[in-house]
């Protein structure tokens, strides 16, 4: 499945970051909210317990990008919005509904078109090559 990488506010000309150095991250303690967030935005560099307890990725992303939208979205709303967007515009579900199956080969347009149909924007697709000669889709960036 695809997971959330981040939710990054912008000003239509560039991605904003590090907007409010005085903003603090409040560790999420509600176990239900932590599990919901971890399902959609796992902290894959860490084991599950450490990631959920210390929340290093969520803290990093909120302080780097989330602080740029705190005039509209305080921390809880920032994470809620990220999860709502993931659920509403689930890239894997969008692709599966168009017959795109992981592990098979497709043209760029075959992947781009269904995402555009659902989001009304051209997605940013990133691929990796592994092993040499085998290109895999690794990231779908969507602007809202």
Which residues lie closer than 8 Å to 92 by C-beta, 6 or more apart? Answer: 1, 2, 102
Domain boundary among 73, 88, 103: 88
Mean per-residue pLDDT for 119-143?
91
Mean per-residue pLDDT for 105-116?
94
Same domain, 98 and 118: yes
> For residue 1, what pLDDT band results from cuts at 50, 70 and 90?
confident
Residue 136 among the catalytic residues: no
What range defines the domain where residue 97 resides?
A: 91-141
Report residue 63 as tokens: 């302080």
pLDDT digits (tens, 9 = 90+) for 49-99: 999 999 999 999 999 999 999 988 899 999 999 999 999 999 999 999 999
Mean pLDDT, all residues of the chain: 93
Residue 61 among the catalytic residues: yes
Number of domains into which the chain is organized: 2
The full length of the chain comes to 144
Count of beta carbons in the 10 Å neighbourhood of residue 60: 14
């Amino acid at each position: 499945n695809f997971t959330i990488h981040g939710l990054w506010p912008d000003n239509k000309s560039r991605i904003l970051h590090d907007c409010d150095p005085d903003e603090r991250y409040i560790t999420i303690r509600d176990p239900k909210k932590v599990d919901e967030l971890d399902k959609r935005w796992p902290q894959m560099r860490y084991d599950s317990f450490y990631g959920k307890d210390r929340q290093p990725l969520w803290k990093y992303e909120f302080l780097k990008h989330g602080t740029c939208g705190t005039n509209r979205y305080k921390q809880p709303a920032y994470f809620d919005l990220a999860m709502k967007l993931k659920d509403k515009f689930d890239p894997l579900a969008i692709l599966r509904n168009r017959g795109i199956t992981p592990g098979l080969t497709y043209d760029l347009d075959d992947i781009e078109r269904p995402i555009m149909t659902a989001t009304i924007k051209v997605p940013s697709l990133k691929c990796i090559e592994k092993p040499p000669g085998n290109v895999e889709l690794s990231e779908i960036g969507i602007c809202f």
